[in-house]
């Protein structure tokens, strides 16, 4: 019966540890800087949202909500 190679066993444990660390790293909350970078809203994001809204409300009478300032009856108090 061949002797087990302790080096191979260590290598297997190291690979498993590296895999587990990578999984946990993905579950960690982002730093403040990374969150700020990820939360940046670009003009193209706003344009896409407006286009989506206009397409969604087309023909419903709600199209004018984004056309300009609120009318007197649309303002709060």
Residue-wise pLDDT tens digits, 42-75: 899 999 998 998 888 888 877 766 677 777 777 7
CA distance 8 to 11: 5
Q: What DSSP character marks residue 65?
A: G
Q: What share of the chain is helix, strand, coil (3-state, %, to 5)?
A: 65, 0, 35
CA distance 52 to 76: 26
User: Which residue matches tokens 């960690």?
Assistant: 28
CA distance 39 to 41: 6
Sequence ranges of the domains in the chain: 6-74
pLDDT of residue 26: 72
């Amino acid at each position: 019966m061949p002797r087990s190679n302790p080096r191979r066993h260590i290598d297997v444990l190291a690979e498993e540890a590296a895999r587990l660390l990578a999984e946990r790293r993905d579950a960690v909350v982002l730093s403040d800087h990374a969150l700020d970078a990820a939360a940046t809203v670009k003009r193209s994001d706003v344009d896409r949202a407006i286009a989506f809204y206009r397409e969604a409300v087309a023909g419903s009478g709600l199209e004018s909500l984004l056309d300009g300032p609120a009318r007197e009856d649309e303002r709060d108090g």
